Amino acid sequence: MPLTASRRLALLTGASLALLAGCGSAPDPAGGQASPGRVAVVASTNVYGDIVRHIGGDRVDVTSFISDPDQDPHSYEADPQDRLALSRAEVVVENGGGYDDFVGRMLQAGHNGSARVVDAVRISGKTAPPGGELNEHVWYDFPTVAKVADRTAAALAGADPAHARTFERNAAAFKAGLAPLEAGEARIRKEHAGEGIAITEPVPLYLTAASGLVNRTPPAFSEAVEEGDDVSPRVLRESLALFSGRKVRALVCNVQTSGPQSEKAEAAARAAGIPVVPVTETLPQGEDYLGWMAANVRALAGALGR
């Protein structure tokens, strides 16, 4: 999500405090240090951390900064342990696009110019549409995730050349696991292309667009929810009318950062008998990326098939 001025300030303030705290706080037991013979990797969220584990296997030690499914990633504040882990990282995987720019700032502050950085948004080649804003939630775009897997394998090989072939094979296996997800999107597209859905925030839009679905949510509604702003009465009425008028087949709702407006949308959808498909920004506990996304695709297909 794009960061508001207040959210961006919170991130920068947290990072600054961490830097000032420095050695005044005890690091985690590993101190961000990889076990002997393993590559030290830092990922901004557990989504990317899991992808790294698929590719690196037992050749990597991964620290994921944001891993709590109940945590709003946009209010995350870095701590001294994060700074230490970044200062020692050989490979860093970040989302980019403004989503987690605290990573770059902390890398610079920690004087770690040698880390191999994998920036998912930059790799994706995606840019903001004319007059609009970039949807930076690229981990919901499977072609981008395939590119990230390849680039991660290359970065790990650069840090550990002796196991380059292992990383390459693991990346190929991971990408093979993306094929059923894209097939699921294709099935939805075949059966429901052009049908309307509503969203609370842009988190799932790469998935829904690849599935041939049309987002009918007034942009002012999802933008306000995304920024944590109030929705005007007129826009709120237009948005809720999507459900009372049954103009959409499903509501895809980011349950990780819910608020009054999104809760009203969810209540209106349920009152109208329109399915609600919950999504999150980070991995639910006990799941891996491929299983998580498979569940999202199944949930979307199931909602549309009702």
State yes or no: pLDDT of 39 exceeds 90: yes
Query: What CATH number should be reported for the domain holding residue 227?
Result: 3.40.50.1980
- 226 and 169 in one domain? no
User: 206 and 127, same structural domain?
Assistant: no
| Enclosing domain of residue 163 | 5-179
Per-residue tokens: 99? 């989503």
- The overall pTM is greater than 0.85: yes
Q: What's the pLDDT tens digit per position in 198-245?
A: 999 999 999 999 999 999 999 999 988 888 888 999 999 999 999 999
Q: Give the pLDDT of residue 212.
A: 98
Same domain for 99 and 171, yes or no, is yes
Q: Using 50, 70 and 90 to split pLDDT, how confident is the model at 80?
A: confident
Q: Same domain, yes or no, for 168 and 230?
A: no
**Percent of the chain scored above 90 by pLDDT?**
72
Q: Are residues 135 and 232 in the same domain?
A: no
Asked whether residue 253 carries a pLDDT value surpassing 50, the answer given is yes
Residues 44 and 157 in one domain: yes
Residues 140 and 116 in one domain: yes
The model's confidence at residue 264, banded by pLDDT at 50, 70 and 90, is very high
Cβ-in-10-Å burial (0-12, 13-18, 19+) of 257 comes to buried
Quick one: 160 and 258 in the same domain?
no
Q: Report if residue 186 sits inside a domain.
A: no
Distance CA 220, CA 192 (A): 26
| Residue 13 and residue 150 share a domain | yes
- Whether residues 274 and 172 share a domain: the answer is no
pLDDT at 19 over 60: no
The pLDDT tens digits for 46-68 are: 999 999 999 999 999 999 999 87
d(CA 209, CA 146): 18
The vertex-288 CA angle with 284 and 291, nearest 5°, equals 95
Q: Are 162 and 227 in the same domain? A: no
Tokens 């770690």 identify what position?
A: 112
In a domain, 184, yes or no: no
On whether both 116 and 213 belong to a single domain, the answer is no
Please tell me the distance from the alpha carbon of residue 73 to that of residue 44, in angstroms, as a whole number: 10
Give me the pLDDT at residue 249, please: 98
